[in-house]
Amino acid sequence: MVELFRRTMIGQRIGLGAVSLGLFGISVIIVYTFKALGGAAVIADFFELLPEGMKAILHAQGGFATDAEGYLAADYRIPPYLVAISAFVIASTSGAVAREIERGTVLMLLAAPVARWRFLAAKVAALVVGIATLAVSALAGTWVGLMLTGVEGVSMATFALIQVTTFAFAFSIGGIGMLVSSLTSDGGQAMGITTAIVVVMFFVDFLSLLWEPAELLGPLAVFHYYDPLSVSVADALPLADVLVLMTVGIVGTAAAFVVFQRRDITR
């Protein structure tokens, strides 16, 4: 299992490195935008001018903390950030099983005395390490941005908690992706299906915040439970949300183990 994990990490090193660097850069830039907009003095007015749709994306309809911390926390939900995390997780999970079957690499790997569950466990472990790396990269970007700009009043402990929720959010998508990947024999198909699920969930969450009749659907989307701003406001980990996200991830992953153990590898 260690060997498969090592091989998977080597295989994803370039993608993981690129996305980590991207998240690091986004996090640094976000701190700079706080300063560029005029800092805390004008940030409340700036947010008031935002359209409702944008507030919904940021999960900020209840209002903002008008300080740097609130601004930076809310920006962890901006689309580039979400897309970067989702893209890595979707690519990683579709490559875990479906792509290996599509390419035929799984045939030689599983011809070795490696149980299927160990094979998948190595893939899940690599995914977890990848997600953790992304979270740490974003956190490091925020810290470097704060150091470079001199923006004050931001607790790195709070942002560490935000990254815990980011990890849980990404892992929930990972669980869905692993299940889809275990069900299919085509990497492109797995990627397409998982992307479709994630995009639909994003819009379900978005719509539930803007349109009252859709409000009940909100909890069906993992995005509903990813709310960095609320972590900043409460200065505490939203345990219920993290629990839901981790449950989705664990259940999806467990289902993937069951499916992969039983399925035929026919391609």
Partner 1 sequence: MSSPAILLNGVTKHFGSVEALRGVDFDVQRGEVFGFLGPNGAGKTTAIRVLTGFISLDAGTAQVLGFDVGRESVEIKRHLGFLPDTISFGRGLTGEAFLNHIGRLHGFRGAPPMQRELLDRLELSSSALKRGVKGYSTGMGKKLALVQAMQHDPELLILDEPTESLDPLVRQTLFELFRDLQKRGTTIFMSSHVLADVEEICERVALIRDGRVVRFGPVDDLRVGRVRTMQVTLREATDAFAVEGGRVVERDGRVVRLAVEGDINDVIRGLAGYDIEDVLYERMSLEELFLGYYRGDEGEASADAPEGQYG
Closest approach of Cβ 3 to partner 1, in Å? Answer: 4
Closest approach of Cβ 105 to partner 1, in Å? Answer: 5
Q: Do residues 152 and 226 make contact, with C-beta atoms less than 8 angstroms apart?
A: no
Q: What does the alpha-carbon distance between residue 16 and residue 30 come to, in Å, rounded to a whole number? A: 21
Closest approach of Cβ 187 to partner 1, in Å? Answer: 12
Q: Which is nearer to partner 1, 66 or 189 (CB)?
A: 189
Q: Which is nearer to partner 1, 4 or 139 (CB)?
A: 4
Place of tokens 């790396």: 133
Closest approach of Cβ 10 to partner 1, in Å? Answer: 7
Q: Which is nearer to partner 1, 130 or 141 (CB)?
A: 130
Q: Do residues 232 and 73 make contact, with C-beta atoms less than 8 angstroms apart?
A: yes
List b or e across 18-56, with b for residues whose CB sees 16 or more CB atoms inside 10 angstroms: ebbebbbbbbbebbeebeeeeebeebeeebeeeeeeebb
Q: Which is nearer to partner 1, 182 or 208 (CB)?
A: 182
Closest approach of Cβ 264 to partner 1, in Å? Answer: 5
Interacting residues with partner 1 (CB under 8 A): 3-4, 7, 10-11, 103-105, 107-115, 262, 264-267
Name which of 201, 187, 24 is nearest 93 in CA terms: 187
Q: What does the alpha-carbon distance between residue 38 and residue 222 come to, in Å, rounded to a whole number? A: 33
Q: Which is nearer to partner 1, 82 or 97 (CB)?
A: 97
